[in-house]
Amino acid sequence: MNLELQDKVIIVTGGAKGIGEGIVRLLAAEGAIPVIVGRREADNLNLVNALHKQGLKAAQVVAELTDPEASRIAVDTVMQQFGQIDGLVNNAGVNDGIGLESGDYQGFIASLHRNLVHYYLMAKYALPALKKSKGAIVNITSKTAETGQGNTSAYAASNGGRNALTREWAVELLKYGIRVNAIVVAECWTPLYASWINSLPNPAEKLEQINASIPFENRMTTAEEIANMAVFLLSGRSSHTTGQLIHVDGGYVHLDRVIKS
């Protein structure tokens, strides 16, 4: 299927690794021009250069998105280079363990900047260009907003905010023909997830326990599976889909996790 993304300029925050990398790679393979917005230039360039070697298009902008001004600068940089923005994937963030008992005000507010505020700001600054292109926004969110996890109040609150903004923007931007959807991620295997697992005293046992809790095939979602949905939602092939929270999670959130085959 031709997703009609040839030469479409798509910003992907946190696009150098993990889920973001999967999205960037698939966008490039579809002929789009993904622009990674991320804090580490070396990581950004590693992926961009790898794609260039494959004859694919990609670009990058270095930005520390916890700084509110960085979102404006990143969008301005993309517009100066390409003159258009056809889509935005808000993806950057981290489950940082700022809990109720263990956290404090400063940590909570810092986590909101790390995980939610830049979603709003990237969309705010990209909006004039998205109006012209009738582009699409995809927000990557987490199951923590729906299931809870424990000891991650700020991250859960941020993801609740991401979900709410998805629905709110879908309504507000109807008149511009801009579609807004979210992908809700549960247990997805990424380098960051692998680092967390390997930091535990019993990583193999913990991984087996987590896999057993995922109803479909008892395995984690891959970054490529998230990317498949994200790129579809960015494309004109999903032309009548907006305001949706789509769970790409092997049934983790909505199926009974104690079901045994």
Q: Which of 124, 122, 131 is nearest to 177 (CA)?
A: 131
CB 91 within 8 A of CB 12: yes
Kindly list the structural domains of the chain, giving each domain's residue range(s) and its CATH number in brackets, ordered by start: 9-187+222-243 (3.40.50.720)
What is the separation, in whole angstroms, between the first and last Cα of the chain?
Answer: 34
Residue type at position 83:
G
Residues 24 and 33: their CA atoms lie apart, in Å, by: 9
The per-residue pLDDT string of the chain (261 residues; one tens digit each, 9 = 90 and over) reads: 789 999 999 999 999 999 999 999 999 999 999 999 999 999 999 999 999 999 999 999 999 999 999 999 999 999 999 999 999 999 999 999 999 999 999 999 999 999 999 999 999 999 999 999 999 999 999 999 999 999 999 999 999 999 999 999 999 999 999 999 999 999 999 888 888 899 999 999 999 999 999 999 999 999 999 999 999 999 999 999 999 999 999 999 999 766 554
Given the structure tokens 């299931």, which residue do they identify? 147
Whole-model pTM above 0.85?
yes
Catalytic residues: 155
The DSSP H or E segment spanning 21 is helix 18-29
